[in-house]
Structure 1
């Protein structure tokens, strides 16, 4: 059904539409309308049953939720905000301008305002910034039956009921975790501790990086990870779907940076023309200025080029090989740093590994290039002159040096950026290629001077 033809005056049609579509699909269709008319999308949501509208607004796929809520009637926006999860409300409010944020924030009830203000105070990309405060917890002196009754009462207002957190009935500190599967198989009159997992529960502190949170969830195969303070009090939980959402966003941002541009921050079709120019022009200008050094390097070796024009034939081959090897190494190291396979202190191990790797890869490419010179010369396809053997040797030696340099510089650049507290993803393939292009020319002509001096040069 085309949402653009959604009948605003027909409540029964809204209900039928909702009943026949998955929430994620509806969110995507509403999003397609948001870019054109957020106010109209707000009218559609305000006429839907509240549970359905809240489910849609809770979906991260609905990227225009802040604009929609800002344009809605205050009564409707307050009603929907109260039904949304606290972490989603915090994310929405942070995207609004100050006036709209204050207006919507003031419409919330006091307990909700306190919880959301607490969430908004954590730094971005930390466990506290992506956690939700809506979880199921019970004291350690309850029975299985009491816990089940509690789950039935609160399940609609909780992010997940698959993990129940058992707290000390005196201090309120986290003691154990009970899975829903263990809970429903326990004896009703038995203590909740009888079905709790053994040992201390896995937890995170609110300032833990979200990448480390993802690793903990993956390592221990969790659906949710409790976030606790220094006293063991549960502040909230991070669910696996929250981690997936944030990691997808981070992956998208990293991919855009790795392509040699600033992260868009919005879907491709939602960013304006001027915004697209601003995001891309800066990096292109920086890369262009870097490539200008290539022209300077060639001007420096102008005399050698005039004496041995044959050397210019291999410049594209030399430059591309160095850039490709550097981009390969950069991609591998950025990925290894992102998933925790490497730490900053491992740079020397990587250097010792990339040095022989670059030499061998350069020798392979150099051998291929040398064979190409020999074949073209002997087959009569091209005449490289009386010293063609030395030309082939120059290509071989230059490729060994350039590919080795490309591999080493490409692998070390992410470590350098991380040491400077910059995002390693900014070591994009175009950036590395530009760096290796300039140095590759210097290596190429230096090798040529060394081998061809007294003959062609």
Structure 2
């Protein structure tokens, strides 16, 4: 094993110099870094933080989740951690500090330069879910009346102070005297233009922009849809506040996808990597939904009790209850999983609900016929007789169609009501369909079984 390979495989606690840290970063993945750093004790974490330089520190902090990055910063003395924090882009620093309590982040902000602290505090003032909370609060700007020569001078001056300029993507935003956004110019067009030309002759006034308070997920999806390197963020007066970059948008979408997947499983988002989630946290994230579903599921027992006489008259009806409610829940879960994801990526909106409904009911009809045929075979193998067989097959078809209807309309309606459609989890849709499916079952049984006449 070479010395370089040995350095890579050593735990962060055993790295002795800043050069060791840099080699370790060059040869480990983000996931591996996160695992190694998370395994450090408090004293080891403090020693590790002291080895981080202005070059390696930001890379380490960006490559682990914000909660763990905050622990690294808090492990060291405030004056050393502040040095690392101030080397980071403002949006990355704000994301880490947002996860800390006020008492934890105040010493860090007091130790950085006043200008940097003020800029971070302004970022923290924005709602966590807003686009402005994730933007780089600066951008290259020129005024429309400037000549190319004047604009180049202004850009050189701005380049000395703008953080994250390598992430903005070759765009220069054009503003008026009040810093209101009026257009955009590409860097290459500026370079090729004549010095005495005016910016107004080159700028493109047809540009996309987003309001500061728009939900970050919507802005990130828009940036991805239009394949833009960055998206300008403006206030109500259309004054330029900053830019949402492509890498920030990718992080937002990845986080939202993870949260949606957790909600679809009937649990609140963890907000920390699973292996670092303690049983107490997992309990808190899961128990609320489980109690809600428990209460909701209780009405299934109420339905069964209401049809107690029917079950006593035709005992064979009870054989098929698990099969029927399971089929309904499975059908609904398939639809909501597909539909919620399509809505998250912008493929489906509330306006598309009629098309979704027609598509899913048409598909549901085909599935209903197939499942009804399967129900006939199952009934025949149990030897329950033709009347119960007809009842079960009709019920399977009806429940499949009912489940398709419910699962098709709930996500778009919730989205319209400003509720995350991901809350229509697999357990939730199953719970909704269970009780209503039983009602459908016994209503069809009354219509088809002579034994239930008069009940």
Q: Shorter-chain TM-score category?
A: 0.7 to 0.9
Indicate the SS of the match to 1:58: helix
DSSP 3-state at the match of 1:225 = strand
CA distance in 2, matches of 1:21, 1:135: 33
- State the distance in 2 between where 1:93 and 1:37 align: 21
Matched, 1:34 2:31: no
Q: Which runs of 5+ in 1 are unaligned?
A: 377-381
Contact 1:126 1:210 in 2 (8 A): yes
Q: Is 1:91 paired with 2:95?
A: yes
Alignment of 1:425 onto 2:422: yes
1:383 match: 383
Q: Please report how far the alpha carbon of residue 260 of structure 1 lies from its aligned counterpart in structure 2 after TM superposition.
A: 1.0
2:434 to 431, 437, 454: 437
Question: Is residue 361 of structure 1 aligned with residue 367 of structure 2?
Answer: yes
Poorly superposed stretches of 4+, deviation over 6 Å? none
Which whole-Å deviations, capped at 9, do the CAs of 1:287-317 have from their partners, x for residues lacking one?
A: 2333333233223323322332222222222
Task: Give 1:339's aligned residue.
Answer: 345
Matched, 1:446 2:446: no
Counterparts of residues 281-292 of structure 1 (less than 5 Å): 281-292=287-298
Q: Where does residue 248 of structure 1 map in the other structure?
A: 254
User: In the alignment, which residue of structure 2 is the partner of 1:129?
Assistant: 133
Instruction: Output aligned runs, 1:13-162, within 5 Å.
Output: 13-18=20-25, 20-21=26-27, 25=29, 28-59=32-63, 61=65, 63-139=67-143, 140-143=146-149, 146=153, 158-162=165-169
How far is the alpha carbon of 1:132 from its aligned partner? Answer: 1.0
| Counterpart among 229, 235, 244 of residue 238 in structure 1 | 244
Cα distance between partner residues in 2 of 1:256 and 1:287 = 16
| Residues 455 and 201 (structure 1), Cα distance of their counterparts in 2 relative to 1, 3 Å cut | closer
d(CA) in 2 for partners of 1:165, 1:417: 39
Structure 1 residue 229: Cα displacement: 2.5
User: What SS does the corresponding residue of 2:243 show, helix, strand or coil?
Assistant: strand
* Change over 3 Å in CA distance of 1:324–1:5 after alignment to 2: closer
Partner of 2:170: 163
1:169–1:289 Cα change, 3 Å:
closer
Alignment counterpart, residue 396 of structure 2, candidates 392, 395, 399: 399
Q: Distance in 2 between the 1:40 and 1:191 partners? A: 59
Aligned partners of 1:276 and 1:159: how far apart in 2? 39
> SS where residue 202 of structure 1 aligns?
coil
Q: Secondary structure at the match of 2:167?
A: coil
- Report the Cα offset of residue 81 of structure 1: 1.6
Change (3 A) 1:286 1:170: closer
Q: Identify which range, 250-259 or 339-348, moves more after superposition.
A: 339-348
Rate the CA distance shift 1:99–1:415 in 2: closer, same or farther, 3 A: same
Which one is further off, 304-313 or 431-440?
A: 304-313
Partner of 2:211: 205
- Of residues 300-309 and 347-356 in structure 1, the stretch that sits farther from structure 2 once superposed is 347-356
Say whether residues 1:174 and 2:201 are aligned partners: no
TM-score (structure 2 length as normaliser): 0.86
After superposition, residues 166-315 of structure 1 pair within 5 angstroms as 166-168=173-175, 170-182=177-189, 186=192, 189=195, 191=197, 193=199, 196=202, 198-315=204-321
Deviation at 1:117, TM superposition (A): 1.9
Q: Which runs of 5+ in 2 are unaligned?
A: 1-7
* Deviation of 1:13 (Å): 2.9
Residue 118 of structure 1: CA displacement?
A: 1.8
Match of 1:412 in 2: 409
Report how far residue 147 of structure 1 moved: 7.1
Q: 1-side partners of 2:139 and 2:189: how far apart?
A: 17
* Counterpart Cα distance in 2 of 1:62 and 1:114: 20
CA 1:211/1:52 → structure 2, altered by over 3 Å: closer, same or farther? same
Distance 1:106 1:426 in 2: 40
